[in-house]
Structure 1
Amino acid sequence: MKVLHLGFEDPRMPGAGGGSVRTHETNRRLAASGFTITVLTTRYPGWRERVQDSVHYVPIGFGQGNNRLTRLLGYVIRLPFEVRKRRASADLVVEDFFAPFSSMAAPLWAQRPTLAVVQWLHARDKARQYKLPLHWVERFGVRSHRRAIAVSQGISDRLTALNPGIHVDVIGNGVDPKAWTPEPTLGQDILCLGRLEFTGKGLDLLLQAWGRCCRKIDGKLLIAGTGPDEAILRAAIEDAGLSDSVSLLGWLSGDAKFQALSAARLVVCPSRQETFGLVAIEALATGTPVIAFDIPCLREIVPEGTGWLVDAFDVDALARALEDRYSHPGLADVGAQGRAFAAGYNWDRLAALQGAAFRAAVAGPALTQSRPVTGGSGSPTPHVVT
């Protein structure tokens, strides 16, 4: 099967999010099994067309894509023309949803069987931020699709609310096998890892909570990642008088990322919204318990016994959880349960499920009901609509 994947974000772009990780980890496995896959992404400084792990990446747009606005505009303007050039040789067009309005309604102009991969569905929040009706664009785009893959049940529920006739396969993200390489340790510091988006990722709430509990905790708060709000974050740390107890580690990937996750005493995920929670499941895989706000998607990733959920956006509750759980006597046992749970999120198996969804999208409209599945280890994995 030949797949034209509208992937938006290149995994090699500095600061790229978990969506690009899923795109590559899934596509490279499908390519190894015989799929031919071309991914159209935005341009960014240092971009180049390439074949990586048998997946063809083609950055599109204008110029070097030096900032978010030029990357977005270049991609949006060029995408229909680039698809038109390539669609004759494609069996399937796959549209990744992306910020700020999710979908460009690809089924209406791709003129090929089309499938949505939905890792992002937050246009209403962006509409409030930018004072633009972006959520109406999202609604229109969702209603143009007949089939979709969602990375969580929470995203699936929102898709079907917008488009009751859509068929959704719920296929979560996987965990890099390297996450199991470091030996779990009971570290001293608390780690927050991810894209540096000050409000979306809840870094403002985390700093408020940390300011209320840091004097009762022996370790420091480590924040790893890069992103558009790094300068805002640095200023907020200084303004709050937290420079001595908060350290920024920069971008971590591969072995360095998993070593940092394993070496942390706790991993905190203070996001206001998530589409899956890749950092949380990676932390569990390294044997480190997670503290997160009780929101959809993270609720699926941090079940009871693997970490702790606190009332959404409650700064006092987050501060109490960080203080209380830091000295929890059973942290090692909680970490072991998290590792067992994370074992169900296997990239090979999830890629096979996505390949089956691709073939079903090309074959025709035969649809059946949903059923839960479990991984080969017996650990829970996402519910999958088959």
Structure 2
Amino acid sequence: MPSAGGGSVRTHAINKRLVAMGHSVTVLTTAYPDAIERWQDGVHYIPVGFGRGRTKLSRLLGYVLRLPWEVRRRRDDCDLVVEDFFAPFSTMSAPLWTNRPTIGMVQWLDGREKARQYGLPFHIVERIGVRTHSRLVAVSHGTAEALRQLNGRAHIEVIGNGLDTRALEIRPQLGRNVVFIGRLDVPDKGIDFLMDAWERAYQQVDGDLLIIGAGPDENLVREMVENKGLQARVRFVGWVDGTRKFQLLGEARLVVVPSRKESFGLVAIESLATGTPVIAFNIPGLREVVPTGSGWLVEPFDTAALAAEIALRYNSSEDLTVAGREGRQSVAQYDWDVAAAQQAAAYQRALGPFPADRRKNRP
């Protein structure tokens, strides 16, 4: 879906490599405007829902109501079901109704945050659902620890994300602007924190704040900018991808990741790969991917501290140069081919004693 975040990037990056290994992969995804059944890099995508999925709520309800039926009608053609967790309640307890070996792929574990946001008991649904799984793959150690607290009996493996190598082709430079890039989702991505911090810091910064991305809260973010009188110092770039995204990251002086929660922090490693240092809150999922020397972590959700760090680092060319060099070196470990091979092995283990005559090499 246009403007989809890092979770969708990972799903496709892994699956297209599984196809290259000889597996057959079908992805049942939410319906959205202009979505069609298609093959992309060998992966079969099938939108599931009712109507065109014009709103977030209609996409969610359509997917939840139709998914069990869609899985059951296809289960004779598959060996393994992968439940990729999704907001707001993470899991639909898939092992209870798939009638096939099932593994949970956990990129999201947001039940408690969504419960506070909407005043609904999503965290209870999440807790019950996680306990139905016996095997789980987490994208970070922080996510794995949260899963262990919910289900201490499950076998949990940690398989991180990879890196698009096009980011490493960007020539590092000390740019002028500060960049936020990601889905425009205020509660998840902490854009409200960023706006408060920018209001405090922008007079000490020569460049502008670039908002790169799209999402459900774009109008709300624009209202924040207007209400704070920041129109002259904030620019909306829109959604970009591929080489253009990496060019914008590489041209930035700093990238700020103000998220309330991140399971991994793909934007952070992409920024570091282009040689641009990162400032982020010191939360699980980000502290794992922003090592000391390649960026700076501040007290979670302290906008005064965030503003001070932006102003301090922006005006220190030496700090930025050293951190940019260290950041490029720190991301060398992230490789989609390695992650896909690890994921394939985890899937094979999840099949367990499943009868050999039922295995069609089709996760």
TM tier, shorter chain? over 0.9
Q: Which residue of 1 aligns with 2:322?
A: 333
Q: Which residue of 1 aligns with 2:117?
A: 129
Q: Which residue of 1 aligns with 2:340?
A: 351
Partner SS state of residue 330, structure 1? helix
1:274 corresponds to 2:262: yes
Q: Which residue of 2 aligns with 1:6?
A: none
Partner SS state of residue 39, structure 1? strand
Mapped to 1, the partners of 2:187 and 2:193 lie a distance apart of: 8
1:88-107 matches, within 5 Å, as 88-107=76-95
1:122 Cα deviation after fit: 1.0
Partner SS state of residue 25, structure 2? strand
Partner of residue 212 from structure 2, selected from 224, 243, 255: 224
Opposite residue 336 of structure 2, the aligned amino acid is W
Please list the CA deviations of residues 294-352 of structure 1 after superposition, one character each: whole Å capped at 9, or x if unmatched: 00110101010110000011111001100000122231221111111111111011110
Q: CA RMSD in A?
A: 1.0
Contact persistence 2:210–2:235 (CA under 8 A): yes
Mapped to 2, the partners of 1:276 and 1:19 lie a distance apart of: 9
Mapped to 2, the partners of 1:287 and 1:67 lie a distance apart of: 37
In structure 2, do the counterparts of structure 1 residues 337 and 364 end up closer, same or farther at CA, with 3 Å as the change threshold?
A: farther
TM-score calculated relative to the size of structure 1: 0.90
- Decide which structure has greater helix share: 2
Q: Which residue of 2 aligns with 1:382?
A: none
Mapped to 2, the partners of 1:54 and 1:197 lie a distance apart of: 31
Q: Which residue of 2 aligns with 1:22?
A: 10
Mapped to 1, the partners of 2:44 and 2:67 lie a distance apart of: 16
1:24-173 matches, within 5 Å, as 24-173=12-161
Contact persistence 2:85–2:105 (CA under 8 A): yes
Contact persistence 2:140–2:158 (CA under 8 A): yes
Partner SS state of residue 301, structure 1? coil
Mapped to 1, the partners of 2:116 and 2:208 lie a distance apart of: 34
Contact persistence 2:160–2:264 (CA under 8 A): yes
1:183 Cα deviation after fit: 0.6
Opposite residue 363 of structure 1, the aligned amino acid is G
Contact persistence 2:112–2:122 (CA under 8 A): yes
Q: Which residue of 1 aligns with 2:351?
A: 362
Contact persistence 2:174–2:251 (CA under 8 A): yes
Partner SS state of residue 132, structure 1? coil
TM-score calculated relative to the size of structure 2: 0.96
In the alignment, structure 2 segments of 5+ residues that lack a partner are 355-363
Opposite residue 182 of structure 1, the aligned amino acid is I
The size of the alignment, in residue pairs, is: 353
Moved over 3 A (4+): none
Please list the CA deviations of residues 251-281 of structure 1 after superposition, one character each: whole Å capped at 9, or x if unmatched: 0100110000000001000011111101001
Contact persistence 2:313–2:319 (CA under 8 A): no
1:196 Cα deviation after fit: 0.5
Mapped to 2, the partners of 1:121 and 1:341 lie a distance apart of: 26
Partner of residue 228 from structure 2, selected from 223, 240, 254: 240
